[in-house]
Amino acid sequence: MRELRFAILVVAAAAAVVVAASASASQAAAPAASCVEPAQPAWIDYADKWVPFRRLFFRPGLAVALAHTAPAADARTGGAQVAYWDMSLKAAVGTPSHPADSSTVTHAVALLAAAAVKVTACDAPIVALNELYGSRLRSPWSRTNARYRANVLELVRALAQRGVQPHVFISESAATGRAAANWWRSVAEAATIVREVYVPGPALQALGPSGATIYLRFQLRRAVRNFTTIGIPSSRVGLALGFHSGRGGRGGLSAARWFGVVKREGLAARQVAGELGLDSVWSWGWASFAGAPRDPAKADAACVYLWTRDPSLCNAPTVAGRGFDSSRAQPAEGAGRGNARLRVLSARHPVWLEVRAAAKLTARVAYIQQRRAGGWTSLRRLILAPFHPLRMRVPLPTGSHVLRLYVAAESAPGAVGKATKKASPCVSTSTPP
């Protein structure tokens, strides 16, 4: 009996080894499930089944946003990381004028989370929610819009509780005053806010290489600081760039000029995302949907965009042709002019002041401060607006005063507060004209 029992144990052990070896071989043969790895920023490109050249993005080192299982399997086989693209946030939460019944949101969360896990083969997928309606609507909101916003907040919170990483896309500047600010802050606790910044290619081309790059940085920073000025960390904000063939994109530019614009958009996004520590940068516009005019330069433009981020990703100088400028150098901004200046225009009642700021300080919060016995006291809060000097009146009593402009630190890596040189107006008793 002991010999028989020993033989049975040996056979069982051998079978276990075979099963383990078979499972190990099966796992090695199957493509690894690839969540989008944490990065600052993560670069994610829309490359679903409507993108004819999508396999350009299906390679190691790239992350793609997809809504269907077949291209997702191809992407993972190629070594790409996969995020889930939900084309219709409206289906889950309704619209500001016709919000969904709140009782249906829980079911929508379950369906959305299951689809995201299935497509990405990731337990904690990044999900793009395309897109929020009415971000410009100021509070107090209508009854229906308040219900809609409550649905959105419930959706992202429930997704986050399931381990999903929601990213809410918005196509316009957000109204962040009053109660709306609290809503945006609540959203940012559960989701990343992705601001779409689609600047028409012809407008950028008209500014020239240097001017276009600086203008793009200006617009990207302003989009981000729409949220950071109300206390949302820059790490909870992302950007989306549009490379459409029509409005907001190529807009009739020749292929050679379009490639130059694409390069400048990529360079500007890379710099701004790095300096502000953004969560992600997304690209959109590569698809060729039914009924849209054919754009034979689109695949080459995608190559230029990838090359701008990392020359090892695509050979843009060869693809774009002889006229392509292969320099990836960035023009400087306001070198030698200082970051911000405060000037006294008039010391009569009330005091007139002028504030000028460099483009890099776009939409930063600043304060006009007065030095008193206990230190500096803020008199006026303002949002810096580069390219346009700000002029304001500040009521001060008769006598000598010491003023300065203090630019507050922002929620970004290495960001600190900074103060201008002091201004010392001696306020007269004469009345203003």
Burial of 78 (0-12, 13-18, 19+ CB in 10 A): middle
The mean of the pLDDT values for the chain is 90
Dump pLDDT digits (tens) for 181-223: 999 999 999 999 999 999 999 999 999 999 999 999 999 999 9
Are the C-beta atoms of residues 283 and 305 closer than 8 Å to each other?
yes
For residue 276, pLDDT over 90 is answered with: yes
For residue 149, pLDDT over 50 is answered with: yes
Q: Does one domain contain both 354 and 308?
A: no
Dump pLDDT digits (tens) for 62-111: 999 999 999 999 999 999 999 999 999 999 999 999 999 999 999 999 99
Does residue 307 belong to any structural domain of this protein?
Answer: yes
Distance CA 85, CA 48 (A): 9
Does residue 179 belong to any structural domain of this protein?
Answer: yes
Q: Does one domain contain both 347 and 311?
A: no
The CATH number covering residue 277 comes to: 3.20.20
Q: Does one domain contain both 154 and 256?
A: yes
Res. 248 pLDDT band, cuts 50 70 90: confident
Res. 22 pLDDT band, cuts 50 70 90: very low
Model pLDDT, residue 14: 41
Q: Does one domain contain both 163 and 289?
A: yes
Q: Does one domain contain both 107 and 152?
A: yes
Q: Which two tokens stand for residue 141?
A: 């909101």
Does residue 400 belong to any structural domain of this protein?
Answer: yes
Does residue 14 belong to any structural domain of this protein?
Answer: no
Model pLDDT, residue 430: 62
Q: Does one domain contain both 184 and 277?
A: yes
Dump pLDDT digits (tens) for 377-416: 999 999 998 888 999 999 999 999 999 999 999 988 888 8
Boundaries of domain holding 181 = 42-320
Are the C-beta atoms of residues 382 and 366 closer than 8 Å to each other?
yes
For residue 285, pLDDT over 80 is answered with: yes
Q: Which two tokens stand for residue 367?
A: 């304060």
Q: Does one domain contain both 316 and 348?
A: no
Kindly write down the DSSP assignment for every residue of 197-255, as one continuous string: E---HHHHHHTHHHHHHHHHHHHHHHHHHHHHTTT--GGGEEEEEE--SSTTTTTT--H
For residue 336, pLDDT over 50 is answered with: no
CA distances in angstroms from 428 to 218, 391, 396, listed in the order given: 39, 19, 10
Query: Average pLDDT of 230-259?
Result: 95
Q: CB neighbours of 335 closer than 8 A, spacing ≥ 6?
A: none
With vertex at residue 261, the alpha carbon angle to CA 268 and CA 235, rounded to the nearest 5 degrees, is 25
> According to DSSP H, which parts of 298-337 are helical?
298-309, 316-320
Distance CA 122, CA 37 (A): 11
The CATH number covering residue 390 comes to: 2.60.40
Q: Does one domain contain both 213 and 128?
A: yes
For residue 30, pLDDT over 50 is answered with: no
Q: Residue 286 in 3-state DSSP?
A: coil
Q: Does one domain contain both 309 and 399?
A: no
Q: Does one domain contain both 260 and 391?
A: no
Q: CB neighbours of 296 closer than 8 A, spacing ≥ 6?
A: none
| Number of domains comprising the chain | 2
Model pLDDT, residue 411: 87
Model pLDDT, residue 243: 96
Does residue 5 belong to any structural domain of this protein?
Answer: no
Q: Does one domain contain both 188 and 53?
A: yes
Q: Looking at the whole model, is its pTM more than 0.85?
A: yes
For residue 24, pLDDT over 50 is answered with: no
Does residue 131 belong to any structural domain of this protein?
Answer: yes
Q: Does one domain contain both 312 and 348?
A: no
Query: Average pLDDT of 354-376?
Result: 93
Does residue 198 belong to any structural domain of this protein?
Answer: yes
Domain boundary among 320, 353, 369: 320
Are the C-beta atoms of residues 360 and 334 closer than 8 Å to each other?
yes
Dihedral angle computed from the Cα positions of residues 130, 133, 136 and 142, in that order, rounded to the nearest 10 degrees = -150
Model pLDDT, residue 13: 41
Does residue 326 belong to any structural domain of this protein?
Answer: no
Q: CB neighbours of 345 closer than 8 A, spacing ≥ 6?
A: 352, 353, 354, 391
